[in-house]
Structure formats: structure tokens, C-alpha cells
Chain A
Amino acid sequence: MAADIALIGRSAAQRQRAGSIGDVVFRALTFLFALLVLLILGGVIVALIDGALPALRTFGFSFVITEVWNPVTEKFGALAPIYGTLVTSAIAMVVGIPVAFGVAVFITEICPLWLKRPLATMIELLAAIPSIIYGIWGLFVFAPFVQQYIQPAIIDSLGQVPGIGALFAGPPLGIGVLTAGFILAVMVLPFISSIMRDVFETVPAILKESAYGLGATRSEVVRQIVLPYTRIGVVGGIMLGLGRALGETMAVTFVIGNAHRISASILQPGTTISASLANEFTEAFGDLYRSSLIALGFILFIITFIVLAIAKLLLLRLQKQAGG
């Protein structure tokens, strides 16, 4: 009898100890995997620097400011891809931001309640479509359309304006920097508009109602109440979209034309960092060639990291502000 009680007592104590051992083990396990997230990022940085070192050592800083890209003579410069990356993303922002803003305003301010969810879902499905689908669509459907209708119109109108005409000069090829920028705009649209929508929803109803009570129209409420209140979040959303646009690969690779040169005209083919990587990496023979491509990747990583970090910091600030 006494032995039985002792047995029960011991097993309870054992169970408790097992519980605390379980706690230590489980906590350590989850901690290790959280650490792994940091290690992935650290690994990416180390691997990219390690791979890029031969090229950076050979070319030094001039790598970033040279336009030449010649695998035969092994002279490499990153300027053309960097330029292409920045210009396509800029076009994407110029086209994408106003549209994303319009969509967000429609969904939060105008749309009837029953339509809100399905509409928001459909816009977000644009983000779900894989990049390669935009690529194949852009190559076979959109680029011919641009070549036949949009580019001739641009060349005839904007291309004739003195001064900025050079930006829109040249034969209509269909593929090129402008087409890539357009497709990027559609791809980043859902990201920007969903963040704008989220931050627009955080505006206290009482603020908007006060403005309506004073007789403001919808557009006045949006411009004078909603936008000032959500400014930080809107910029954060835009930066997030920009981060996406900078690193987007497949869609751009299909339609940009892959020419390592900087053309004055945005209608001409160009290349971006990610498109150069996608096109050339597996065929890059020679250590210096491969290393130069990895160096391109490293530059892309730094640019997107900075943009995404700013986006994240802005959105965090908004979150803290909303949380009190």
C-alpha cells in the first residue's frame, strides 16, 4: 500500500519533470528554427559575397559604372542591367501606383459591401498568378499588341516632341523596356493596392463621418482625411511594391529583349539584373563570367533589401501608431 502511494507520488513528480524537460526541449527547438531564418539571410549574404568576390576584385568599383558586357573578352560592367532594373521599376511605379490607388479607393469608399470581398479577392488573384504566366502572356499576346497599336501611337505623338522625343524614338519592336515596365505594373498592382486598402480601413470612421457631416465630397474625404492619416502606410505599400518590381524575374525576361546596352529610348530592348541572371547564368562558362553574374545578384540583393527594409520600417511605424 505504502509502496503504491510512493509509486504514484514518484510518477507524478516524474511527469512534472518530464514536462519541464519537454518545455526546455520544445523551446530550444523552436528557437533553433527561428534562428534558422536569420541564418538563411546570413547565408545568402555570405554566399553572394563569396561568389561575387573574383569579379569585384578584378573590376573594382568600375564594375558598377561600366556598360560593357562582353563574355568573349571577359569585360563585364553592371551599368546596363542596373539601369534597366531601375527604369522598368520606375515605369511600373508610374503606371501601377495611380491604378492601385484607384482600386483601393474604390474598394474602401465606393464599393457596396457585398462586392467588397469578391472584388478584393479577384484583385489579389492577380498576385497569385505565377510570374512565368505573365511572361508567356506578355511575349505572345501583349508584346504584339504593344507593337501594333501602342508603340506607333507613342512614336507618332510623344516621339515627335523636341527634348523628350529621344525617350520614345525608334522602331516599334513590341518587346522592350516599356513593355516590361507595363507588365511589372500589373504584377505589383495587387501588392500595393492591398496594403493601401488595409491602411485605408484603419482610418477611424468618426473622422470620415465628421468630414461628411461638414459636407465634404468623397474625393475631398479621401484627399484631406484618408490620405493624410495613412500617408506612412501608403508610402510603405509603394516601397513594398517597388521591392517586388526590382526583383521580378521571369515576366521581365520574356519581354525585355535581353540587350546589354543602355538605349535612350524606352521602347528599345534592354535588360535587368534578374533577366541577365535568368538568361545567362547556366550558360556562363568561365569563372569570371559567372562571378560577374553573381555580383549582379549581390547588387540586386542590396537594392531590394534597402527598399524592403524601408517599407517594413514605415509599416511598423504605422502599426505602432495604430496600436497607440
Chain B
Amino acid sequence: MDLYTRRRIVNGVVMSLSVAATAFGLLWLVLVLWTLLENGIAAITPALFSQMTPPPGSAGGLLNAIFGSVVMTLIATLIGTPTGILAGTFLAEYSRRSRFGEVVRFINDILLSAPSIIVGLFVYELLVVHMGHFSAWAGAVALAIIVVPVVVRTTEDMLNLVPNALREAAAALGSPKWKVIVMVSYRAAIQGMVTGVMLAVARIAGETAPLLFTALNNQFWSTDLNAPMANLPVVIFQFAMSPYADWQVLAWGGALLITVTVLCLNIGARALASWSTFKQ
């Protein structure tokens, strides 16, 4: 075999492997989504949204868990978003080249990928131990700690994309820097910042590990933020690991619900980002 043929064959093999790898990756996505639909769709009934989590062996729904997840996600977003936006603003507008900014950026990126179960342990030590009991507040704080680095990162990135000419123009009109940031930079970067918040919500909507030791779970309807609160991920965990068929069906239903929510948020965020005014 001459050199030319050999090189062509090697190339053909390498390229086919690369195509196969891509197909393999996509196959997993399709498989996971397909089984979710197959098993979850049977559980999507009106009862799922109107009844409480049942004891084993009887019918029920996930209403209290859905409520708890929504409440905790909402509180976490309300705490995490302003925190993240302000910290991101500092990084982008006040400390592009400072040492302190670099350190914060570095630590933030590590928090972004840090194991979420560690966050759960931290909030357990911080709140649960001191309050003496598990609570929805602790769960929300744990989720907020996961929101913050995501929002910091996207806020900073988006503010960095705002052309300096815009800031200079506003400054030349005599507006103080805080007004330039709030009325010009934020407005120019708002789409990207909203994208970041949506991605953060998508991330915490399915987070389980940080809730295990903070919000715990609750079999009953509860609106008390100082008490343990049911939430979808932990209910799915508990029900899926149980030997009861009813519970497993509900777990699949909850899993489908979470996945659809998370994927919609993700795709929505991406669509919004691609309309964004400034692109790299």
C-alpha cells in the first residue's frame, strides 16, 4: 500500500470515529429523553398536580413537592440574582485589571464547578445546625449559593461586551458612573443578563444534592418556610429508590416534569442570547 492510500485510509478511519462519537453523544440524549417520555407520560395526570405525595401503596400526586420546588427556586433566585449582578458589575465595571478582581473571578469560576453537595454541607453547618432543624429557608439559601456564581459570570461577560463608546458617550453628558452603569450598561446588556438568570434557574430547578441536608423533605403540604419542605428532586430520589411501584411511577412523572422545565428554560435562554444585541 502506498503512502497516499494509507494516509487516506487513516483519515477516513479517524473521521468516521469522530462522526461515531458525535452520534454516540446524541444517542444518549435521545435515549434519556425517550425513556423519560415513555415512563413519565403515564404519570402526568390531573392528580399529579392536585394531590399530595401519598404513603406507599396508595394513589396521590406531587402537589406539595411541586409547590416546595417552586417556592425554594423563587426565593433562591430572588436572593441570588441581585447578589450575582452586583458582584458581576464590580468585576466588569470597577476592576477589569485589578488584582482583587482577578482573585474574585478565579474563586467564582471554582464555585461555578464546585460539587453542589459541598454547598449542602456548608448550609447545613451554617443554618441547620444553628436553627436546630431542617427548613425551606436553608434549602433556598443553598440553592441561592449555586445561583450566584452563574449570574456573576454571565453578568460580567455581558457587561464586557457593551462597547466602551456607549459608556464614554454617557459620561461625556455628565452623568455619574453609577448612572452610566445602571442606565446605559445594564440596558445594553439586559438580554444577556436575563439569559444568565434563566440558566441559573434551570440549574437549580433540578438540583438535589444541596437540598438533601437543608430542606430535607416533607410528606405533607407545608407553607412554613421554617419547617422542612417537600421538593421535587428529593421526592424523586426517595420514590425512585423505593420498592413501591406507585412511588416509582410518581418519580418518573416528577422526573419528566423537571426535565421539560429545565430544557425549556435552557432553550429559551439560548434563543434569547442569540437575539442579543452584542455578539462576540
Contacts and interface: CB of A to CB of B under 8 A. Distances in A.
A278 B266 contact: no
B181 A26 contact: yes
B22 interface: yes
Given A136-B251, A282-B213, A218 B15 contact: yes
Nearest to B213: A281
Interface residues of A, number: 90
B236 A132 contact: yes
Interface stretch (A43-51, A61-69, A150-158, A165-173): A43-51
Contact-residue size bin, chain B (C-beta under 8 Å from the other chain): 35 or more
B126 to A, nearest CB: 6
B18 A102 contact: yes
A30 interface: yes
B166 interface: no
A320 B91 CA distance: 18
A103 B22 contact: yes
B121 A278 contact: no
Task: State the main secondary structure of chain A at its contact with B.
Answer: helix
A37 B149 contact: yes
A247 interface: yes
A43 to B, nearest CB: 6
Interface stretch (B29-37, B46-54, B189-197): B29-37
A250 B209 contact: yes
Contacts of A136: 236, 240, 251-252, 255
Interface string A108-126: 0110000000010111011
Given A30-B94, A37-B152, A38-B107, A129 B32 contact: yes
Interface stretch (A16-24, A73-81, A225-233, A260-268): A16-24
B218 interface: no
B262 A130 contact: yes
29 contacts: A19-B176, A23-B178, A32-B86, A34-B95, A34-B101, A38-B103, A40-B145, A48-B125, A101-B21, A105-B18, A110-B15, A121-B270, A123-B25, A123-B26, A126-B29, A130-B206, A130-B207, A137-B35, A141-B31, A186-B28, A222-B14, A244-B113, A248-B115, A249-B209, A294-B125, A301-B114, A301-B115, A304-B113, A309-B110
